[in-house]
Amino acid sequence: MKNKFFTKSSMRIILFNTFTMLMFYAAFNVFFFLVLDNQLERQVDIALHHEMDHFIQLVALVDDSLILNHGEELNETDLNELTEHPYFLQILDKTGKIIYQSKNMRYLSGIPIHFPLYKDNLTFVNYQVDSRNLRTGYQPIYKNNQLVGFIQLSTFKSAGKEVLTNILFFDLISFPLVLLLILGIAYMNAQQYLAPIRKVIELARRISASDLSQRLTYKADDDDEMGQLRDTLNHLFERLDRQIRQIAQFTDNAAHQLMSPLTIIKTELEFVTRENHTHSDCAETFQILVEQTDRMIHIVNTLLILAKDDSGRLVENSIINLQKILLQLKETYPERVHLPEIKNTIFLRGNNDYFLMALQNLIDNGLKYSDDNTPVIVEAEQDNGWVHIRVKDQGIGIPDKEKERIFERFYRGSFQNQKPGFGLGLSLVQSIVRTMGGSITVKDNHPKGAVFEIRIKELKLV
């Protein structure tokens, strides 16, 4: 047996989940780096702004000229040497001319001046000087509400870049472990996804035609997909169980129904083959043989029609004259069946013999389940392009809980158990009526009995 934990389906799920989580991991890292870089840049900007506020205090305006008062701030090492976190200071007049540079500017080839400068805003820009990344801030200088110059202050962005580089290095080192973790999670998810399917497979292996009692017990909410799969399959197993039991019952009933006329035929043939029989004896025997043969032909025809319906070959497009059908029924049922007199010619589309058989089945059912002295009434009427045919009896009736199931194949209700049959008559009627584009329903007759109503579209001939 192949390893059930690494099937093609499970591998597809594992690879899909792994790819999805890796994409999410990569997107998260890119987002994290962008946010961190932005935050580190903001910290540099805050430090530059803080230092520029100090340097503005050293600038004075004398006779419309800028003068820089030398204070302790200008003697700081970060302004004079190339330290770990240096500051490069340039003071500009309002035309962009440099009037002061910090001493550590000698270590650089020169910092570009962003001109024309923003007069009203504190501005930060990025420069690359001598293969070094600089963050530079510009702040306007106002004296007596007049713009007199600008402060340009720069520093290296290397500290922030170093943090990002360290994080990237850590990501690369830890990636194999992250990949193993993602694969483990994907594997567990795949097993979780496939667990109910494997239960279905194991259950299907245990199920046989003689034992359909097994059911799925997978725990899931009814509105969850797995819960719906469980309930759908359990309903399927229930239907299969019911159908197989019905087929088994049908087999017993059909064997009995076919054996009974065959036994009678055999007995009568043995009788007629003996010598010294009168003509009347032979005539009676032949009549019995004809009746039993007709009974067998009816059973076989029913099975053939249902088989054609299952294969989709029951569709017929011939024209049926309802008046002729009713005349045939009058000849078949001279007593106990009240048939309507139809003045207008009514046409239907379908198979004449099949439709006649359907009406005969309904009438036979009404006669079978009614007392000998009660009639079966057939009605027919036209209504807005539809034809309604009702077969009413005054028999034992049909319980409400069984009305929905009496058209199921092989189903025999509690009211049918005392009568011969094998549960195909009403199913046959429904198949024929549906093929003609109609429908059949059943309801109670009053004061007792049942009413079967066929509703079929009338065929209009031009």
Write out pLDDT tens, residues 31-87: 988 888 888 888 889 999 999 988 888 888 777 777 777 777 788 899 999 888 899
Please state, in angstroms and as integers, the Cα–Cα distance from residue 317 to each residue in 58, 156, 314, 435, 437, following that order: 107, 92, 10, 10, 11
Number of neighbouring beta carbons within 10 Å of residue 306: 17
- CATH for 314-457, among 3.40.50.1820, 3.10.580.10, 3.40.50.2300, 3.30.565.10? 3.30.565.10
Alpha helices in 312-414 (DSSP H): 322-332, 352-368, 400-403
CATH level 3 topology of 225-310: Helix Hairpins (1.10.287)
Lowest mean pLDDT among 118-122, 144-148, 232-236, 440-444: 118-122
CATH 1.10.3470 assigned to 8-164: no
pTM over 0.85: no
Among 21-30, 264-273, 288-297, 413-422, the range of highest mean pLDDT = 21-30
pLDDT tens column, 411-439: 766 655 555 555 677 888 898 898 888 99
Looking at residue 310, what is its pLDDT?
A: 54
Looking at residue 252, what is its pLDDT?
A: 63
Q: What is the mean pLDDT of residues 220-226?
A: 75
Range list of β-strands (E), 294-398: 319-321, 337-338, 347-349, 376-383, 386-392
Averaged confidence pLDDT in the chain? 81
Within 13 Å and on the Cβ side, how many CA atoms surround 313? 6
Looking at residue 423, what is its pLDDT?
A: 65
CB–CB of 247/410 below 8 Å?
yes
- pLDDT range class, residue 208, cuts 50, 70, 90: low
Range list of β-strands (E), 57-122: 59-62, 65-68, 88-93, 98-101
Looking at residue 363, what is its pLDDT?
A: 92
- The residue among 100 and 209 whose pLDDT is bigger is 100
- pLDDT range class, residue 271, cuts 50, 70, 90: confident
Domain map of the chain by residue range?
A: 8-164, 225-310, 314-457
Q: What is the mean pLDDT of residues 234-253?
A: 73
CB–CB of 376/336 below 8 Å?
yes
Fold match, 8-164 / 225-310: no
Inform me whether the pLDDT recorded for 453 exceeds 90. yes
- pLDDT range class, residue 1, cuts 50, 70, 90: very low
- Rounded Cα–Cα distance for residues 455 and 438 (Å): 5
- pLDDT range class, residue 165, cuts 50, 70, 90: confident
pLDDT tens column, 109-130: 989 888 766 666 788 999 999 8
- Rounded Cα–Cα distance for residues 360 and 203 (Å): 45
> What counts of helices (H) and strands (E) characterise the chain?
9, 14
Question: Is residue 261 classed exposed, middle or buried when 0-12, 13-18 and 19+ CB atoms within 10 A define those classes?
Answer: buried
pLDDT tens column, 345-382: 889 998 888 899 899 989 988 888 888 888 899 999 99
